[in-house]
A and B are shown apart, each in its own frame.
Chain A
Amino acid sequence: MKEQEFYKKLVDLYAGEELAQELKDELELAAFQDPDLSHDMQTLSATVRTLRNMPRPEFTEESFHRILMKMQTRGLEVEVKAPTPAHLQLRLPMNG
């Protein structure tokens, strides 16, 4: 009974991938004989995985410039340097 309670407490760490491999193996072994524990582990892990795989809101070029304009309209002096063209970033030794 004590062990079951202990395993239940580890599920949060398991789902967040914060558990040491040894404890992870032990928990997975215990889950074979405990359907409730197994269900808790699977559904919580799936929740975390789903969250971590959610698409990122895209920071578009239009948004970048609209924000810049908003700052400038409100009196902030902002200057953004255009990135250096790739062919000027590296000085390669010339052959010959």
Chain B
Amino acid sequence: MMSGESQHDSLAEKRWLQALAKGDPEAVGGLYTIYGDRIFRYAFRMLGNRSDAEDVTAETFLRVMRRLNELRADGAFRTWLFRITRNLCIDRMRQHKLMELPADHAYGGSMEKTTLRITVHQALSELQPEYREPLILCDLEDISAKEAAEILNISVPALKSRLYRGRRALRDKLGGSLEKAL
């Protein structure tokens, strides 16, 4: 069942996509208002720093405009948007090694929590991309297994297998840090 917020976003998305097809200059702005934060967050999680995440978010919406002919009005816009972002992030990661610890990352809470979060971030960055990506999409960004599988262009069982293995690999990397948190 759709939450009130996502139902509202879905209606707004439909309206802006129709406007985009008519060449309304406010349409990209409207879609950016709906999805800008989610795309930025996903890029930030993938790349590990604000500046690259901002570049990739801007490039994502530029690509939307360049690839308008690929746009389908079947409710798959968000998945398509995430897929574009993912490809852009992968290109950037190939260019230079990213995923360093972000200096401006908000690590609030107690010292133990902060230490654990920094350790988790580092452990995540050390995971193989095929395991890291399902964790970012499903556990950090709370995207359903079905949609995450579509974004990664794999089947749902393959997604789940990678997700479960990724969690176990992360658990093994965290080792003692996690024991302290229990």
Contact = CB atoms under 8 A, between A and B. Distances in A.
Interface residues of A, number: 32
A50 B181 contact: yes
Interface in A42-81: 42-44, 46-48, 50-52, 54-59, 63-64, 66-68, 70-71, 74, 76-81
Interface residues of B, number: 46
A96 B86 CA distance: 57
Contacts of B107: 55
A71 B36 CA distance: 12
A76 B171 contact: no
A67 B58 contact: yes
Nearest to A56: B41
A17 to B, nearest CB: 11
Contacts of A30: none
Interface of A: 12, 15-16, 42-44, 46-48, 50-52, 54-59, 63-64, 66-68, 70-71, 74, 76-81
B40 A76 contact: no
B102 to A, nearest CB: 8
A79 B20 CA distance: 12
Contact of B139 (A52, A57, A59, A64): A52
B53 interface: yes
B120 A50 contact: yes
A80 B29 contact: yes
Interface in B107-134: 107-108, 116-117, 120-121
